[in-house]
Structure 1
Amino acid sequence: MAARRRRSTGGPQVVSFGGGHGLYAALRAFRLLTENLTAVVTVADDGGSSGRLREELGGLPPGDLRMALAALCDDGEWGRVWRDVIQSRFSSEGPLHDHSVGNLLISALWQLLGDHVEGLDWMARLLRAHGRVLPMSSLPLRIEGDVQFDPGCPPEVVQGQSALAATDGHLREVRLVPHNPPARAETIEAVCAAEVLNLGPGSWYTSVMPHLLVPDLAEAIFDSGALRTLTLNLPGSKAETRDLSLCDHLESLHSHAPRLRFDYVLVDEDAAAAEPELEAKARRLFGARMWTRPLRGRKHSQHDSLKLAACYRDVLLDAGITVDEQW
């Protein structure tokens, strides 16, 4: 399609969706392949420093946005120092305890400038970030889910990202509150201009799925002519998906967004070998080709960004998209 045929100076136009550590890994990988990188970040966090600032100031939770900005910092001295600064947390006996420095800086910019995207753009300039960070919506959203605690009982509604992330029940469905929130115009523009769209990895229900629950954003993704990739999680102990196989991950994503299609589903080779039916499921549900590579980092449940970058590079080259390698 037209978006796929474009060639951008500095590498392809890539938009990666997610939040937290999963998006951080994807961004650290993609920034080795392109200078034209946009992170679209969930805004439903209600725990920790982000939750406290959200409650006190009424704006978006800044934590996942800060993580994305940190991922885009340059590897030179300036970027390394500022990445450490914004990721550092206060330790005290008072109300500043455990607040992230970056969260406070972002919140201050939002109060000063009165606009979430403008504040994030100024933060990116300070960090000399290799790319742009955008919220999926300018509304501070809540997420709620249907959780089954007992197989013999109906599901119960659990509210809040932090509660869902820690649930010991089986999470079946999630929704955003308010329902049908508006997408940020800049976010839609980035999706429409993209040559590559990537979803995941990340907390499946609370970082990955929410992007598909914003109607305008979901429609832009469905209608895009860009190359679309899904980066599956590594098997791990995340509470919200601890009882789900990778096939179950695909089923749950399809149930929330049945119109969604991918060109490639990227998965760690050991994880794929453990689920031989995964390839057929990716093809049936999403029309996708499965692409397997070694992706694990030293922490067994986390992706290695260099391995992930090599995987993304190979997929893009296989699709005929030129990358701008910066190894």
Structure 2
Amino acid sequence: MDPAVPSAITSLGGGHGLYQTLLAARMCRPEKISAVVTVADDGGSSGRIRRELGIIPPGDLRMALAALSNETTQGVTWAKTLQHRFGGTGALAGHAVGNLLIAGLTEVLGSEQQALDAVAQLTDSCGRVLPVCNEPLEIEADVSGLDDDPRVMLQVRGQVAVATTPGSVRRVRLIPHDPMPSPEAIQAILSADLLTLGPGSWFSSVIPHLLIPAVVQAIKESEAQRVVVLNLSSDNGETNGFNLERHIHMLSQHAPGLRLDRILVDDAHTQKSSERRYLDRAAETLGARVVYHDLREVDAEGRLTERHDPAKLATALMHNFRER
């Protein structure tokens, strides 16, 4: 294996941010890719399955499986099938086929991890999808701005409620507070050469990983290059009005002692030298260096989108890995 190419990439996150990161990880052509996925979703099809069956929400896991599906005829067909949603107004309306498949296989095989591995065989997967915990988690947030008195903090519970709150999220917690992580997820973190966190919904997809003490400890112990990929813009909900510096401070606030190596920022996001100095200082609290790259996707009409371009992200990840 070329020492300039990571042999094992482990990506932590959830939702569309993790999907794009996994596409980028594939382009780096490592021997092994692991997706460590948040399990706190409580909305839509995932939320319905979670409430009715008591299993971990499958939606973010399904998306990761789709991202890692091989580009063979079989892989492409199964990836499309996993992502397909039923229409209409009946009992199946809104459900993704992949969510139902994962739920059914969980009951047949007896564990979520066996179900995910079985689906990975169907998709001829390029990697393995691992829930960060084998039990469903809840997110609870302290939110300001929901009361007439701006100093009053109110508690908001649930991933959807946190992601869509009109208030300002100050801190989040997991319920249960110290969940048992998946042993496979911890091993994937410890054995990685390159470890990524983000992009994604900061309080509901990224930070939840850092609220599990064993995960933070594994990140600290890992000999991987540890890279945070910052969002291209603030979310309309949970991080509305946050600047990049505040995103970084939220990481250290929720995971004291966390150590990182690189923080990737889109080079068009901030041009002022003063802002970049503030980012550098925030990154230093985590032992990291801020690096700037062209990361934004351009659509067919030449317009900039709010998504990371997987090829650009792969180039940035490989550049910084070789620099180490």
TM superposition score normalised by structure 1: 0.92
Please report the RMSD computed on the Cα atoms of aligned residues, expressed in angstroms. 1.7
Q: Give the Å deviation of 1:283.
A: 3.7
Distance 2:124 2:270 in 1: 37
Q: Is 1:310–2:305 an aligned residue pair? A: no
The residue that corresponds to 2:88 in the other structure is: 92
> What letter corresponds to residue 126 of structure 1 in structure 2?
L
The match for 1:323 is: none
Which runs of no fewer than 5 residues in structure 1 stay unpaired? Answer: 1-5, 320-327
Map of 1:181 onto structure 2: 179
The question of 1:287 aligning with 2:292 is answered no
- Larger deviation, residues 151-160 vs 179-188: 151-160
Q: Can you give the 5+ residue segments of structure 2 that lack an aligned partner in the other structure?
A: 299-303
Distance apart, 1:23 and its partner CA: 0.4
Q: Does 1:166 align with 2:164?
A: yes
CA separation of 1:148/1:52 partners in 2, compared to 1, >3 Å: closer, same or farther? same
Equivalent pair of 1:22/1:201 in contact (CA under 8 Å): yes
Q: How many correspondences in the alignment?
A: 314
% identical equivalent positions: 45
Report whether the alignment pairs 1:31 with 2:26. Answer: yes
The aligned counterpart of 1:22 is 17
Alignment-derived partner of residue 114 in structure 1: 110
**TM-score if structure 2 supplies the norm length?**
0.93
Aligned residues of 2:10 and 2:192 also touching (Cα < 8 A): yes
Counterpart pick for 2:41 among 45, 48, 62: 45
Distance in 1, Cα, partners of 2:106 & 2:234 = 36
Pick closer, same or farther for the CA change 1:278–1:108 going to 2, 3 Å.
farther
SS at match of 1:244: coil
- Equivalents in 2 of 1:238, 1:196: separation in Å? 30
Can you list the C-alpha shifts for 1:236-289, whole angstroms capped at 9, x where unaligned? 443111110010100111100121111111110011425323442244221212
User: Residue deviations 1:21-57, cap 9 Å, x none?
Assistant: 0000100001111231100000000000000000111
Other-structure match for 1:300: 305
Inter-partner Cα distance in structure 1 for 2:74 and 2:205: 29
- Secondary structure (helix, strand or coil) at the match of 2:296 reads coil
Instruction: Report the Cα distance in structure 2 between the residues aligned to 1:104 and 1:23, rounded to whole angstroms.
Output: 21
The worse-fitting range, judged by mean Cα deviation, of 45-54 and 227-236 is 227-236
Q: 1:246 touches 1:278 (CA, 8 Å); kept in 2?
A: no
* Residue pair 2:6, 2:194 contacting (<8 A) in 1 also: no
- Quick check: 1:10–1:36 contact (8 Å CA) kept in 2? no
- Return the structure number with greater relative CO, CA threshold 8 A, min gap 6: 1
The structure 2 residue matched to 1:12, chosen from 7, 28, 33, is 7
Within 1, Cα distance between the matches of 2:53 and 2:269?
42
2:266 match: 268
Distance 2:63 2:172 in 1: 23
Give a deviation string over 1:213-242, Cα, whole Å, max 9, x none: 112122111222221111111114431111
Residue type at the aligned position of 1:307: K
